[in-house]
Amino acid sequence: MNAEIPIHPQAATARRAIFLDRDGVINRPVVRSGKRYPPSSLAEFEILPGVAEACQDLKGLGFLLVVATNQPDVGRGTLSRDSVESIHRWLLLQLPIDRVMTCYHGGAEYGDPCHCRKPQAGMLLEAAEALKIDLAKSFMIGDRWRDVECGLSAGCKTIFIDWGYEEKLKRDPHFRARDLLGAARLIKESLSLGSESDWLEDPF
Ligand SMILES: [Mg+2]
Ligand SMILES: [Zn+2]
């Protein structure tokens, strides 16, 4: 996992976080022959419309923003860790993200098991420990079943970004949205439904 990126100083006292999957939530997946791939370089990395606005809105609501991304192609030897890290350094300059957590493991089926690859909750648990995040007051947003399972396992609220691709979910997310801006609106609405203390005691 990538733990060297420091916490944003103003976020040090925040307790709630939005965990963001990367590919398909922040950036447009690269599609080749109908299959979705992660961008292999900055040239292929396109931040989706509305993402910057959504991030600003969520920061404005007091959330930490933590990216949690599986990049198994690194462990499988088809993508270099350097290219992923340079994308993330650039991403941190573009968006008000507090930390990027990356699982580089190829997965058990490639002989490279770990505790951080989503659907496992390792990256969220590690970030929660490091940044003092209350997972029950936090959200996980992603476009795959792995993201929903990871968020549920960590005890977060989950929002599934539905691209209309065939994606069989194992369990239902708390909410569905078309994109990150839609997800940010849902979060904003859920917070304004009652007073903060009501929401904390009886989240949804
Ligand atoms: Mg994704
Ligand atoms: Zn891992």
Please report whether residue 8 resides in a domain: no
Q: What's the gap in Å between 56 CA and the centre of ligand 2?
A: 29
Please report whether residue 7 resides in a domain: no
Tokens of 1: 């996992």
pLDDT reported for residue 197: 46
How many domains, the chain? 1
Our CA angle for 162, 164, 167, nearest 5°, is: 75
pLDDT reported for residue 1: 54
Catalytic site positions: 21, 23
Identify the CATH number of the domain in which residue 189 sits. Answer: 3.40.50.1000
Task: Please tell me the pTM assigned to this model.
Answer: 0.88
60-78 average pLDDT score = 97
> Would the pLDDT of 3 be above 80?
no
| Phi, psi dihedrals of residue 42, rounded to the nearest 5° | -60, -35
Q: What's the gap in Å between 190 CA and the centre of ligand 1?
A: 24
Burial readout 98-131 (b: 16 or more C-beta within 10 A, e: otherwise): bbbbbbbbbeeeeebebebbbbbbbbbbbbbeeb
The ligand that comes nearest to the alpha carbon of residue 104 is 2
pLDDT reported for residue 5: 57
Tokens of 141: 């947003």
Residue 104 domain boundaries: 13-201
Please report whether residue 5 resides in a domain: no
- Categorize the per-residue pLDDT at 73 as very low, low, confident or very high, splitting at 50, 70 and 90: very high
Please report whether residue 3 resides in a domain: no
Tokens of 24: 């398909």
Q: What's the gap in Å between 69 CA and the centre of ligand 2?
A: 10
pLDDT in tens, 187-199: 999 988 754 444 4
Q: What's the gap in Å between 143 CA and the centre of ligand 2?
A: 19
140-148 average pLDDT score = 98
The ligand that comes nearest to the alpha carbon of residue 126 is 2
Please report whether residue 50 resides in a domain: yes
CB 7 within 8 A of CB 133: no
Per-residue HEC secondary structure of 136-182 comes to: HHCEEEECCHHHHHHHHHHCCEEEEECCCCCCCCCCCCCEEECCHHH
107-124 average pLDDT score = 97
> What torsion, rounded to 10 degrees, do the Cα atoms 8, 13, 15, 20 define?
-10
CB 105 within 8 A of CB 118: no
pLDDT in tens, 17-51: 999 999 999 999 998 888 889 999 999 999 999 99
8-25 average pLDDT score = 79
